[in-house]
């Protein structure tokens, strides 16, 4: 017999012993109670407590123990209270009638008790199954979030050489009109990068790990930044963008980068779902203690039943759109707005009548010292040449970035593993090193520590260039001695600033 079969047999024996043991205890308790009541009731109703023992036995062990309790109880009661004192106590016709009535009553009690017992067992099984299903759903949800995070990371790696390659082609064609094919490639790489960022943000929100860096900000600056971000999509379809705002700036307490992401998502969706040459209007106003930003378009509109479902994850309720997507933009936008204590709603007059998305955020008073908004990223000039070390086991990504930086006039060494990087650093100490984290053998964290401890390593600027972009990853690189953290595929302008601006630090 297998171990599992042996354990199952032992379990059944224990259950059987418990059932019949409980039935015996119930009968003995009933007989004892009946004897204690004898001074008051005499020989009247001798079987009444046996019925209770049978009911307890059927609840504890089922029909078998209950029948046992009834038989033993009947026998003992007859022996103790019925004349003549015989085991069955059938001396007269009345005794036979009493026996029949006793059997019928016990049968009814046992049948009802067994039905209740089965209902109880079914309820327990259903509850256990519900708990198991809930645990399975929770596990599946955790695996989904983990999968999205891993997928986002893995998709970044092939994008890195593609983005660098497009930039190389643009530099090599400097002075000539940029070919439309290069512009198309750049738009598509940026679009794919945005989709991957959405996947990663979705994973962070799903796990409650999306961090907000809140400050007092002017919404008009956020709108300007979002409009600049969405400008390529608007210009590609020849849309007319109008921005209307209050005479005085509206202030909110929030994360400027995330709120800009919300509005750029709304503008990109408006551009996507509006026929070429359409109109898109952004309006800012104060209303009942809230700052309100609306993005209205003259596009394909929404049916009334879709005004809420568009915010569901992976929702695709707008057939005939100019571009595809994962259906994550609005889900992320509403989640971010709600994290700010606000709300995002959709409005539409119906299909073909345009749509409007309205963001409401708690309005705050103007801060005592207004912080100037961060300038929009700009492509840095070539600047003085520097020694650059690129370390990445993805050879395509490493060599593409190396070629791009050489075209900008820098001295570049490329290594595809940690040992080769250490040899290159010993031969010529670089000014800056871009290091991937996930590498076979010596990973980027260990390499950073060893570079720091090498001769001249204290003066090397270390930048993590990786597809890993969670707050935990950023903290890990900071603890390992990195000066900055860039996420693949890195913006070429960000890479250039890392080289030229010694104190720059870009954190995702």
* Residues 356 and 439 both lie in one domain: no
> Residue 267 is encoded by which pair of tokens?
């503008």
pLDDT band of residue 378 (cuts 50, 70, 90) is very low
Record the tokens describing residue 15, joined without a space: 């259950």
Is residue 209 domain-resident?
A: no
Residues 347 and 485 in one domain: no
Confidence band of 119 (pLDDT split at 50, 70, 90):
confident
Q: What is the pLDDT of residue 373?
A: 45
Predicted confidence at residue 87, as pLDDT, reads 46
Cβ atoms of 437 and 464 closer than 8 Å: yes
Q: What does pLDDT average to over the chain?
A: 80
Q: pLDDT value at position 462?
A: 93
Identify whether residues 416 and 469 lie together within a single domain: yes
Residue 244's pLDDT is 92
pLDDT (0 to 100) of residue 59 = 82
List pLDDT tens digits, range 196-248. 777 667 666 666 666 778 889 999 989 988 888 888 888 888 999 999 988 78
Q: Which helix (H) or strand (E) holds 290?
A: strand 290-297
Q: Confidence class of residue 292 from pLDDT cuts 50, 70 and 90?
A: very high
Residue 347 to residue 360: CA distance in whole angstroms: 14
Helix (H) or strand (E) holding 26: helix 3-36
Say yes or no: 398 and 468 in one domain: yes
Can you give the CATH number for the domain in which 409 is found? 3.40.50.2300
What average pLDDT score do residues 392-408 get? 89
pLDDT > 50? residue 369:
yes
CA-derived radius of gyration, the chain: 38
CATH number at residue 297: 3.30.565.10
Inform me whether the pLDDT recorded for 338 exceeds 80: yes
**pLDDT, mean of residues 60-78:** 81
pLDDT, residue 228, reads 85
The percent of residues in the chain predicted with pLDDT above 70, rounded, is: 80
- pLDDT for residue 69: 82
Q: What is the pLDDT of residues 169-208, one digit of tens each?
A: 777 776 665 566 777 677 667 767 776 777 667 666 666 6
- Buried (b) or exposed (e) across 100-120, using 16+ Cβ within 10 A? eebeebbeebbeebeeebeee
Q: Please indicate, yes or no, whether residues 397 and 286 belong to a single structural domain of this protein.
A: no
Average pLDDT over residues 66-80: 80
Q: What span, in angstroms and rounded, lies between the C-alpha atoms of 58 and 437?
A: 65
Confirm whether 198 is domain-assigned: no
Does the pTM exceed 0.75?
no
- Is residue 36 in some structural domain? no
User: Is 296 within a domain?
Assistant: yes
Q: Is residue 95 part of a domain?
A: no
Rounded Cα–Cα distance for residues 24 and 8 (Å): 24
Do residue 487 and residue 353 come from a single domain?
no
Neighbours of 260 (CB within 10 A): 22
Check whether residue 351 and residue 407 sit in a common domain. no
Q: Are residues 225 and 353 in the same domain?
A: yes
377 has a pLDDT exceeding 60: no
Q: Place 75 in a pLDDT band, splitting at 50, 70 and 90.
A: confident
Same domain, 399 and 450: yes
pLDDT above 60 for 374: no
Q: Provide the number of structural domains found in the chain.
A: 2
Distance (Å, rounded) from C-alpha 421 to C-alpha 427?
Answer: 10
Residue 316 maps to a domain: yes
* Cβ-contact 466, 444 below 8 angstroms: yes
Which has more confidence, 294 or 309?
A: 294
Task: Give residue 333's domain range.
Answer: 215-362
Cβ-based burial of 310 (10 A; exposed 0-12, middle 13-18, buried ≥19): buried
Q: Specify whether 405 is located in the same domain as 472.
A: yes
Q: Is the pLDDT of residue 429 over 60?
A: yes
Residue 55 has pLDDT above 50, yes or no: yes
Please report which confidence band the pLDDT of residue 380 belongs to, taking 50, 70 and 90 as the band edges: very low
Predicted confidence band of residue 435 (pLDDT cuts 50, 70, 90): very high
Of 6-10, 53-57, 489-493, which gets the smallest average pLDDT? 6-10
Q: Flag the least confident range among 130-134, 185-189, 232-236, 453-457.
A: 185-189
Q: How far apart are the C-alpha atoms of 81 and 43, rounded to whole Å? A: 6
Structure tokens at 374: 């961060």
Whether 274 and 396 map to the same domain: the answer is no
CA 386 – CA 400 distance, rounded (Å): 18
Helices 63-81 & 3-36 angle (0-180, nearest 10) = 30
Determine which of 173-177, 182-186, 316-320, 336-340 has the lowest per-residue pLDDT on average.
Answer: 316-320
332 plus 424 within the same structural domain: no
Neighbours of 506 (CB within 10 A): 16
Length of the chain in terms of residues written: 508
Would the pLDDT of 325 be above 70? Answer: no
The C-alpha angle 316, 322, 327, rounded to 5 degrees, equals: 25
Cα–Cα distance, 227 to 239 (Å, whole number): 12
CA dist 73 and 163 (Å) reads: 88
CB atoms within 10 A of CB 276: 10
Q: Which of 332, 339, 373, 302 is nearest to 194 (CA)?
A: 332
Taking each helix axis as running N to C, give the angle between helix 93-172 and helix 395-407, from 0 to 180 degrees, rounded to the nearest 10.
Answer: 30
Asked whether residue 128 is domain-assigned, the answer is no
Residue 280 falls inside a structural domain: yes
């Amino acid at each position: 017999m297998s171990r599992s079969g042996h354990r199952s047999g032992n379990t059944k024996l224990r259950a059987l012993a418990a059932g019949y043991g409980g039935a015996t205890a119930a009968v003995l308790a009933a007989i004892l109670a009946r004897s204690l009541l004898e001074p008051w009731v005499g020989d009247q109703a001798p079987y009444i407590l046996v019925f209770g023992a049978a009911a307890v036995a059927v609840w504890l062990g089922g029909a078998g123990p209950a029948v046992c309790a009834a038989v033993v109880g009947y026998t003992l009661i007859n022996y103790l209270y019925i004349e003549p004192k015989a085991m069955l106590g059938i001396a007269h016709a009345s005794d036979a009638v009493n026996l029949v009535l006793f059997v019928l009553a016990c049968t009814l009690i046992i049948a009802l008790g067994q039905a209740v017992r089965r209902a109880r067992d079914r309820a327990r099984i259903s509850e256990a199954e519900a708990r198991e299903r809930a645990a399975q759903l929770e596990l599946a949800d955790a695996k989904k979030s983990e999968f999205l995070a891993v997928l986002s990371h893995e998709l970044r790696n092939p994008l890195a050489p593609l983005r660098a390659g497009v930039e190389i082609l643009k530099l090599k064609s400097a002075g000539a009109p940029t070919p439309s094919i290069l512009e198309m490639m750049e738009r598509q790489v940026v679009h794919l990068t945005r989709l991957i960022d959405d996947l990663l943000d979705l994973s962070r929100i799903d796990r409650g790990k999306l961090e907000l860096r809140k400050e007092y900000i002017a919404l008009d600056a956020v709108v300007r930044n979002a409009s600049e971000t969405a400008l390529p999509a608007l210009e590609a379809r020849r849309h007319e963008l109008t921005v209307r705002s209050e005479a005085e700036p509206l202030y909110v307490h929030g994360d400027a980068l995330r709120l800009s992401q919300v509005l750029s998502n709304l503008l990109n969706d408006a551009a996507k779902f509006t026929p070429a040459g359409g109109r898109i209007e952004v309006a800012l106003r104060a209303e009942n203690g809230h700052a309100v930003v609306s993005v209205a378009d003259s596009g394909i509109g929404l049916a009334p039943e879709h005004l809420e479902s568009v915010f569901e994850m992976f929702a695709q309720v707008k057939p005939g759109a100019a571009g595809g997507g994962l259906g994550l933009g609005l889900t992320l936008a509403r989640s971010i707005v709600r994290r700010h204590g606000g709300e995002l709603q959709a409005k539409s007059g119906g299909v073909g009548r345009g749509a409007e998305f309205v963001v409401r955020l708690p309005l705050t008073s103007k801060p005592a010292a207004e912080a100037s908004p961060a300038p929009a990223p700009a492509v840095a000039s070539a600047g003085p040449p520097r020694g650059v070390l690129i370390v990445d086991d993805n050879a395509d990504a490493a060599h593409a970035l190396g070629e791009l930086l050489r075209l900008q006039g820098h001295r570049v060494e490329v290594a595809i593993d940690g040992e080769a990087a250490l040899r290159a650093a010993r031969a010529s100490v670089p000014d800056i090193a871009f290091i991937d984290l996930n590498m076979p053998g010596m990973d980027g964290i260990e390499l950073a520590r060893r570079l720091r401890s090498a001769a001249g390593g204290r003066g090397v600027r270390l930048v993590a260039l990786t597809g890993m972009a969670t707050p935990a990853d950023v903290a890990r690189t900071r603890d390992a001695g990195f000066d900055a953290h860039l996420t693949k595929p890195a913006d070429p302008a960000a890479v250039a600033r890392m080289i030229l601006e010694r104190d720059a630090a870009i954190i995702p």
